[in-house]
Amino acid sequence: MEKLKINLENLDNVFPENFSPEQIAKAKTLFLKKLSIDAHKFYGGKIQTVPKAPVLGFNWFNVWYTPGVSKVSTDIRDNNVNSYDLSNRGNLVAVVSDSTRVLGDGDCTPSGGLGVMEGKAFLMKYLGGVDGVALCIDSKDETGKNNPDKIIDFVKMVQHSFGAINLEDISQPNCFKVLDVLREECDIPVWHDDAQGTACVTLAGLLNALKLTNRKIENTKIVLLGAGASNTTIARLIIADGANPANLIMFDSKGSLNAERKDIEDDKRFYRKWELCLSTNPKHIKTMEEAMKDADVLISLSTPGPDTVKKEWISLMAEKSIVFTCANPVPEIYPYAAKEAGAYIVATGRGDFPNQVNNSIGFPGILKGALMVRAKKITDNMAIAAAHSLADYAEKRGIDIENIVPTMSEAEVFPQEAADVAMQAIKDGVARVIITREEAFNKAKADIEYSRTMVDKLTNEGFIKEPPQQMLNDALAWAIDKMECKK
C-alpha cells in the first residue's frame, strides 16, 4: 500500500473509501491493537525511572546515599510525616492490581496487567505531574481463589512508601471489599479508578448532557446496563448528586436489580449491588425493553460490543436521548449506529470518537489534588467536586452535543480539577495541609508543566525516540488486510 503519514488524531481518512462506518470502526480497533503491541515492543514498555536531583560530582552520592542519607532516615523515624518532604512519597502513587479484570479481557494473570498499570503511571505523570509505580500482584490463596484479603494486606504493607494508592482492574465482588476496607484502614488515600474514576467522569459528562437537553437530574429517567464496580459506583454518585433513585433501573447479566433479587441478597459479597436493589427500580421492571421505553439516559458499562446494546432499545427512548456506551475496547454499540437509532448525544470510552467519557481526565487531577494537601482519603464529595469541576470547565469554554467533556489535550483542566479537589478535601476535614485554592492551582500547574516539558525535551533531543513511520504503516496495512479478508 502507499506509504502514508498517519495522523493518530484523525484516522477516518486513512481507510479505503468503500469501507462502511462499521468497518472503519472495527479497522481502527485492529490498527490500534496492532500498533500498541509493536510500539510497546519497540520501547520495552513506556515508563522508566529518572533522577530528579543532579549528579554534580561523584561525591554527591555521599549526600544522596550513605553516609549523609542516614540523617534523612532518622528524621523520618522520629516523625514519619517528614517522609513527605524528604522523599518522593508526597508525589508518588502505587498503581496496584491483581489483573483479574483487565479492560474487557478478564483475568490476564498478574503480569498481564502491566501494560495498563504502566499506562496509568504514564498518564499520571504527563497529565497530572504525579509519579506512579505499577505493582501487579498475585492475589490467589492456597485454594487457588483470588482472595481480597491478600490485596488488602499488601496495600497496608506498602502504604508507607506512597502518598496514595490507585487500585485498578480488580474483579468484583473483591473490588468492593478491597476499596471499602482500605479507605477506612489506610492513612493515605486509596482510590479505585475503575469505580470512582469512571463514575466521576461519567457524572461530569452526564451533567453537561443534561444541560444541553434541558433536563434536571432529579427528574431524569436513567437506565444502567452492567452492574460491576464502575456502574454501581456511577449510580451511587449520581444519586448522591441529586438523582432520584426511583428513576434508576440497573441490569446485570441475570436481569434487573430490584428488591426481589434474592440471589444478590444472599451473597453478602455483593452488598453494594444489594443496596441498589433496595433503593432503585421500585416498580420491579424486569426487561430492557420496558426499562428503555421513554428513558432519558442509558449508561452502559457492560460486555464489549458492538451488538450488546440493540438499536431497537435506543429507538424506545425519549426525545433527545443520551447514550453512554463505555465498554472497552469496543463500545456496546458504535456511535453512528446509536445515532441512527435516534440517540441525540452519544459518548464512549474511546478517544477516537467524540465525547470520550474516560477516567483519563479524572484521576490525574484528583490524585494530584489529594496529594497536595496530603489527604487521608478521597471522599465521595471530592469525587463529585471533581465531576463538577470538569463539567464547569467544559461549559465555560463551550459545549455541544459532540463535545460535552474536556479532553486530555486541554492541559488547563487538570490544575483546575486538582485545586477543586484539594479545596473539597480541606472542607471535608481529611487534609493534613491547609493551602489556598490559588496555591493549589499554581502548584499543580507548575508540576504538570514540568512533567510535560521534560517528556517533550527528552523526545526533541532524541533520548526518547519517535516511533518509526514504517511501524504505523505496517499496522494500518495489517488492519486493512484483516478487514478485507472478512468481506
| Catalytic-residue membership of 445 | no
Which of 277, 302, 280, 271 is CA-nearest to residue 173? Answer: 271
195-415+422-435 has which CATH code?
A: 3.40.50.720
Taking residues 380-406, what's their average pLDDT? Answer: 97
Q: Are 306 and 330 in contact (CB under 8 A)?
A: yes
pLDDT at 3 over 60: no
Q: Which helix (H) or strand (E) holds 248?
A: strand 248-252
Q: Are 351 and 358 in contact (CB under 8 A)?
A: yes
Look up cell 516523625; give the residue.
79
Q: What is the DSSP string of 80-142?
A: GGGHHHHSGGGGEEEEEE--SS-TTS----GGGGHHHHHHHHHHHHHHH--EEEEEE---B-T
pLDDT at 132 over 90: yes
The per-residue pLDDT for range 10-68, each reduced to its tens digit, is 777 788 888 888 888 888 889 999 999 999 999 999 999 999 999 999 999 999 999 99
Q: What is the pLDDT of residue 23?
A: 86
What count of other Cβ atoms lies within 10 Å of the Cβ of residue 61?
Answer: 12
Taking residues 299-309, what's their average pLDDT? Answer: 92
- Catalytic residue, from 28, 34, 120, 221: name it: 120
Q: Sketch the domain layout of the chain as residue ranges.
A: 1-44+436-487, 72-188, 195-415+422-435
- pTM metric for this prediction: 0.92
pLDDT at 277 over 60: yes
Rounded CA gap, 382 and 424, in Å?
6
195-415+422-435 shares the fold of 72-188: yes
Taking residues 189-215, what's their average pLDDT? Answer: 96
Rounded CA gap, 10 and 16, in Å?
14
- Residues above pLDDT 70, as percent of the chain: 99
Query: Directed axis angle between helix 229-240 and helix 271-279, to 10°?
Result: 40
What are 487's three cell numbers?
A: 468481506
The DSSP bridge pattern shows strands 248-252 and 190-192 to be unpaired
Q: What is the pLDDT of residue 266?
A: 93
SS3 212: helix
Q: Does domain 72-188 have CATH number 3.40.50.10380?
A: yes
Q: What is the pLDDT of residue 5?
A: 66
Q: For the chain, first and last CA: distance in Å?
A: 19
Q: What is the DSSP string of 3-40?
A: -----TT--GGGS-TT--HHHHHHHHHHHHHHHHHHHH
487 pLDDT tier (thresholds 50, 70, 90): low
pLDDT at 412 over 80: yes
Taking residues 338-343, what's their average pLDDT? Answer: 97
Q: Are 474 and 18 in contact (CB under 8 A)?
A: no
* Listed ranges 127-131, 325-329, 350-354; the one with the highest mean pLDDT: 127-131
149 pLDDT tier (thresholds 50, 70, 90): very high
| Catalytic-residue membership of 120 | yes
pLDDT at 2 over 50: no
- Catalytic residue, from 46, 65, 262, 457: name it: 65
